[in-house]
């Protein structure tokens, strides 16, 4: 089992280090190789996704990814910005299906901004199409861009585009996932305004005929955004396009109390995947040892389950995280009165201890 480890920028190195310690505690036969990506790769090689890093990712069974980006790179021309690394990996590895679970642990109900009765027991899976839509539409218009900006420009545009095979395959992923859950899919679109999403809606409806045991409903994205904060437990599986999925998954993340708790998986048709926390590089707290590593640790669990066929090991990690939360340990983003605040390393120590059955003090 070969894992490409790409820590990236900001807190990426800190949180990935803890995930690796957790994986090591499982005593499985992993081969891990680390490479630069994002701003760190740009500094060393002049590009956010060097050929050597891309080669490593292609050859691996799975990629464990930290985060990329820093404000100091905002003036770079767009193809050289750190964020282009993740787009490049998605495109080159064919990672078309992004799984973002939003689960509210009972121990963190009070950390949510919503009332406990609205989010207690919350378990949503957002499936985001990842390689189409406006992020990859062509042509992409830029006018006299200087330092990443548009002085004197008269227009700029990005095209929203989907093909039939792209929509069909993500719809099937959603329906298959729903069959293992509560058999309910909500397809989110903007079909009343955008031709692209009338096309999306029609195809999802067609594919649904092959899954008569799964309930399907359609919802406009603005209504979906409202319902996520009004009645989030009405959702089970949400499937949507790249841009809408980007926005809605971050909104759903905050329902759980902190985006620092949410893992994600991006898979291709062979179940090779890239696993990363849903949050960003947080350069403002990088190096301070306060970042929450649990989203990355839980992403490693998803990696074990989806790409490495180690479901039992994934269960061990997820059970360990629940145990640690039950013990009262919290990083600053999920801390509340009556719990013990710990740093990145201490949280990693606790999860490792729970896996190895050592005593956790808190």
Residue in 61, 162, 190, 275 annotated catalytic? 190
Whether 222 sits among the annotated catalytic residues: the reply is: yes
- 123, 183, 246, 322: which is the annotated catalytic residue? 246
Instruction: Considering the candidates 105, 220, 250, 322, report the single residue annotated as catalytic.
Output: 250
d(CA 119, CA 258): 13
- Active-site residue identified among 27, 210, 222, 315: 222
Q: What is the dihedral angle through the alpha carbons of 332, 334, 337, 340, rounded to the nearest 10 degrees? A: -60
Task: Give the CA dihedral 238, 235, 65, 281, nearest 10 degrees.
Answer: 110
149 forms beta bridges with 146
**209 is annotated as an active-site residue:** no
Q: Please pick, among 91, 105, 135, 233, the residue that the annotation labels catalytic.
A: 135
- Alpha-carbon distance 90 to 273, whole Å? 9
Q: Which residue(s) pair with 67 in the sheet?
A: 8
Instruction: Determine whether 190 is an active site residue.
Output: yes
Distance in angstroms (rounded) separating the CA atoms of residues 300 and 325: 18
**Helices and strands, counts by H and E, the chain:** 12, 14
d(CA 335, CA 318): 20
246 is catalytic: yes
Catalytic residues, by residue number, are 135, 190, 222, 246, 250
């Amino acid at each position: 089992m070969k894992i490409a480890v790409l820590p990236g920028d900001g807190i990426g190195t800190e949180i990935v280090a803890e995930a690796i310690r957790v994986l090591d505690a499982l005593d499985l036969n992993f081969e891990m190789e680390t490479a630069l990506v994002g701003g760190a790769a740009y500094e060393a090689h002049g590009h956010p996704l060097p050929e050597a890093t891309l080669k490593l990712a292609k050859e691996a069974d799975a990629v464990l990814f930290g985060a990329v980006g820093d404000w100091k790179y905002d003036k770079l021309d767009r193809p050289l910005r750190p964020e282009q690394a993740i787009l490049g990996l998605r495109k080159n590895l064919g990672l078309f299906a992004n799984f973002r679970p939003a689960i509210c642990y009972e121990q963190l109900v009070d950390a949510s901004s919503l009332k406990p009765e609205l989010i207690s027991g919350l378990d949503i899976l957002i499936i985001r199409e990842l390689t189409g839509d406006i992020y990859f539409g062509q042509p992409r218009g830029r006018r006299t861009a200087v330092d990443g900006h548009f002085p004197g420009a008269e227009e700029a545009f990005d095209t929203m585009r989907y093909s039939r095979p792209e929509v069909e395959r993500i719809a099937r992923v959603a329906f298959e996932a729903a069959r293992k859950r509560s058999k309910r899919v909500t397809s989110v679109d903007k079909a009343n305004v955008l031709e692209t999403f009338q096309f999306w809606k029609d195809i999802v409806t067609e594919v649904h005929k092959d899954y008569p045991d799964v309930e399907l409903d359609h919802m406009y994205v603005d209504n979906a955004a409202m319902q996520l904060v009004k009645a989030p437990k009405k959702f089970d599986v949400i499937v949507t396009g790249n841009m809408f999925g980007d926005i809605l998954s971050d909104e759903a993340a905050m329902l759980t109390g902190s985006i620092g708790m949410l893992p994600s998986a991006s898979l291709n048709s062979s179940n090779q995947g890239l696993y990363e926390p849903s949050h960003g590089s947080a350069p403002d707290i990088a190096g301070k040892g306060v970042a929450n590593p649990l989203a990355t640790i839980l992403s490693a669990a998803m990696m074990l389950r989806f790409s490495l066929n180690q479901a039992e090991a994934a269960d061990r990690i997820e059970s360990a995280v629940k145990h640690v939360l039950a013990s009262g340990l919290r990083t600053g983003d999920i801390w509340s009165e009556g719990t013990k605040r710990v740093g990145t390393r201490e949280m990693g120590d606790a999860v490792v201890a729970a896996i190895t059955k050592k005593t956790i003090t808190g």
